[in-house]
Structure formats: C-alpha cells, structure tokens
Amino acid sequence: MKLIIESQKILLRLTSWDRGGRNPFILTGAVIYLADKLLAEQYSHKSILTQKLISDSTNIAEYSIRDHYVNLLKPLFLN
C-alpha cells in the first residue's frame, strides 16, 4: 500500500513539462522503481525492487526503466 501511495505522490509532482511526451507505461515502471528507493531510504532498509524484477513483471525493457529513472526522476527526487 505504501508503494502505491508513494508512486501516486511522485506522479502528482511531475508536470507535463517534466514528462515531456514520454511513454506513460514505461514512466510508471520507473516511478515504481523510484518509489521503492524512496521508501527504502525513508525506512532505512535495502530497496526490494530491482530494474530487472520490474522489467520481468511488466515486460518493459530494463534500459527503458533505467533511462527514465536516471534522466528524469533521479535528478528531480534524489540528491
């Protein structure tokens, strides 16, 4: 449940300019990955989800998740 709530918070903070015409399905996979990272940091534990696990579960290429995470989400949400 916390993963869903955190993912929704991330999506609400992204403007249409930030999203810049990106594929919403791939973006959602990257948002889930980021949400897990933020929750792990918040609760001082290791992140559970990997790019490979999300890729296998959603049929999104790992490099697509990584690209969206590194180039869009990480600069906005992680220092």
The string of pLDDT tens digits covering residues 18-54 is 888 899 999 999 999 999 999 999 999 999 999 999 9
pLDDT bracket for residue 74 (50, 70, 90):
very high
Domain-located, residue 66 = yes
Residue 14: its pLDDT value, please? 94
List b or e across 8-39, with b for residues whose CB sees 16 or more CB atoms inside 10 angstroms: eebeeebeeeeeeebeeebbbbbbbbbbbbbb
pLDDT confidence of residue 21: 87
In the predicted structure, residue 79 carries a pLDDT above the cut 80? no
Residue 18 lies in a domain: no
Q: Over the chain, what is the mean pLDDT?
A: 95
Is residue 66 very low, low, confident or very high in pLDDT (cuts 50, 70, 90)? very high
Cα angle 38-42-44, degrees, rounded to a multiple of 5: 110
Question: Domain range spanning residue 66?
Answer: 2-13+23-77
In a 10 Å sphere around its CB, with 0-12 CB exposed, 13-18 middle and 19+ buried, how is residue 43 labelled? exposed
The answer to whether 77 and 41 have CB atoms below 8 angstroms apart is no
